């Protein structure tokens, strides 16, 4: 047992992982959301647990199941609920990986009754959700590691670097859109890791489970 334990990179550590989309209510039966499947976040949670860590996985609505017994799953629906859960858990952790595709906006006046169809256009007024990663970045204590993701359609590296600074992240995982096999819904991803000490590491297109290993290796190197 000791032999195997020694090879685990994150034994006795505790991490928060956010995953999946968030749903923002328009009325009791409709929402604003996105196509995030949660696969990358779940793969990360599994790999962290494989490396000996305890994981609190805060996830939006996804159709995935947790495998490892050291992963505690906390289901939420909206960005606001995700923020509440994350703020509560983060102080007890060694760090967080912010993998969720959080809706940037929510309907300002969600209807309590189902909105009836009218033969005219309609407008939904939206208000901004809080930036959960940035909130954690402000709370971050010495020794905690905070990791974020970025998906950009132009000036990828420059925009990702700005995001890393703005949110006080230790490194940021840039999802490449250059490849059809990367991103939402699919089982593969192509990433670059940009670190706060200005390193850029490019990885090949691979399975999200293998991408998770690369990200967890980088995370382990931060301790
Ligand atoms: N994030 C978050 N809370 C939000 C929005 C984003 O925690 N309300 C996190 C994501 O989980 C991700 C990182 O911040 O790790 C970057 O998300 P992204 O949507 O790329 O960045 P934004 O700051 O929302 O910028 P934009 O969507 O305008 O590019
Ligand atoms: Ca966003």
Distance 102 CA to ligand 2 centre (A): 6
26-46 pLDDT, tens digit per residue, is 999 999 999 999 999 999 999
Give residue 196's pLDDT.
Answer: 94
**Interval 53-80 mean pLDDT:** 98
Give the C-alpha separation, 159 to 177, whole Å: 14
Give the C-alpha separation, 78 to 19, whole Å: 12
Please give the structure tokens belonging to residue 118.
């009218």
User: Among the options 34, 70, 159, 168, which is catalytic?
Assistant: 34
Give residue 2's pLDDT.
Answer: 60
The annotation places the binding site for CTP at: 104, 114, 149, 163, 167
Q: CB-based contacts of 21: which residues, under 8 Å, 6+ apart?
A: 33, 34, 35, 36, 38, 60, 61, 62, 100, 101, 103
Pocket test for ligand 1, best of 41, 163, 184 (most atoms within 8 A of CB): 163
Active-site residue flag, 159: no
Name the average pLDDT for the chain: 94
Distance 188 CA to ligand 2 centre (A): 21
Check if the interface score ipTM surpasses 0.95.
yes
Q: Considering every ligand atom, which ligand is closest to the CA of 41?
A: 1
116-174 pLDDT, tens digit per residue, is 999 999 999 999 999 999 999 999 999 999 999 999 988 999 999 999 999 999 999 99
Give the C-alpha separation, 31 to 48, whole Å: 32
pTM over 0.90: yes
Q: Specify whether the CB–CB gap between 161 and 168 falls below 8 A.
A: no
pLDDT at 1 over 60: no
Ligand 1 binding site (Cβ under 6 Å of any ligand atom): 18, 79, 98, 100, 102, 104, 129, 131-133, 148-151, 163
Q: Considering every ligand atom, which ligand is closest to the CA of 16?
A: 1
Query: What structural domains and CATH numbers belong to the chain?
Result: 2-104+125-220 (3.40.50.10300)
> Could you tell me the sign of the dihedral formed by the alpha carbons of 13, 194, 136, 138, in that order?
positive
Pocket test for ligand 1, best of 133, 145, 167 (most atoms within 8 A of CB): 133
> What is the pLDDT confidence band of residue 179, given thresholds at 50, 70 and 90?
low
């Amino acid at each position: 047992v000791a032999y195997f334990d020694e090879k685990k990179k994150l034994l006795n550590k505790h991490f928060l992982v956010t995953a999946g989309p968030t749903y923002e209510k328009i009325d009791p039966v409709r929402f604003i959301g996105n196509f995030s499947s949660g696969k990358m976040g779940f793969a990360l949670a599994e790999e962290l647990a494989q490396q000996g860590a305890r994981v609190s996985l805060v996830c939006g609505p996804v159709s995935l199941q947790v495998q490892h017994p050291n992963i505690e799953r906390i289901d939420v629906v909206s960005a606001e609920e995700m923020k509440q859960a994350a703020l509560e858990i983060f102080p007890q952790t060694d760090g967080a990986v912010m993998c969720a595709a959080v809706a940037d906006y929510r309907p300002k006046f969600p209807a309590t009754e189902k909105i009836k169809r009218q033969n005219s256009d309609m407008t939904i007024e939206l208000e901004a959700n809080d930036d959960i990663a940035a909130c954690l970045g402000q709370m971050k204590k010495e020794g905690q590691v905070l990791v974020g993701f970025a998906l950009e359609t132009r000036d990828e590296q420059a925009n990702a670097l700005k995001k890393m600074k703005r949110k006080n992240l230790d490194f940021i995982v840039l999802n490449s859109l250059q490849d059809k096999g990367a991103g939402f819904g699919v089982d593969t991803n192509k990433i670059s890791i940009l670190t706060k000490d200005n390193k850029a590491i490019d990885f090949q297109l691979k399975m999200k489970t293998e991408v998770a290993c690369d990200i967890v290796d980088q995370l382990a190197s931060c301790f």
